[in-house]
Each structure stands twice: as C-alpha cells, then as structure tokens.
Amino acid sequence: MSAQWARPFLLHLPDGRTYSGACFPSGHVAVNHPDQDDQPYIMTLATTMDHLLTEQFLHAAVEWPEEA
C-alpha cells in the first residue's frame, strides 16, 4: 500500500468561528484551536469524523477543499 496524504478540512462552528483540521487515512481526525489564548496549541482528536461531529462539535459543518 502506498503512502497517502491527510485530507484538510475547515470546521465551521455555529458561533461563527472556523477551525482547521485534517482527516488522516486511518479515519482519525485532528482539529486545531488557534483562538484558545491560554493554550494556543490545543488540539481536539477523534477516532472518526462522525465522532467529532456527534460527540465534540455538535452542529458544526465540515467544508472540504473541493467544496470551496
């Protein structure tokens, strides 16, 4: 199996903020929280995109590069 790139995405939160994330070939996802002043390098990790959207970021919308 050849190496695969992680797939970038934008996560649009209901309050208007937008976070950058990546979906890895394994299905795991990572989301950066650049607006956390007390912890500027904080990340959210999830085992799947569904888990991210149902357990951690309810009502958020995912935008993939090809949809922009």
**Using an 8 Å Cβ cutoff, are 20 and 32 in contact?**
yes
Q: Which tokens in the block code for residue 60? A: 């958020």
**Using an 8 Å Cβ cutoff, are 34 and 54 in contact?**
no
**DSSP one-letter code for 3:** -
How does pLDDT run along the chain (68 residues), one tens digit per residue?
Answer: 688 999 999 999 999 999 999 999 999 999 998 877 777 678 999 999 999 999 999 999 999 999 87
pTM for the model stands at 0.87
Task: Please enumerate in sequence order all residues whose Cβ is within 8 A of that of 52, keeping only pairs 6 or more positions apart, or say none.
Answer: 11, 29, 31, 44, 46
Per-domain boundaries in the chain: 7-67
What 3-state class would DSSP assign to 29? strand
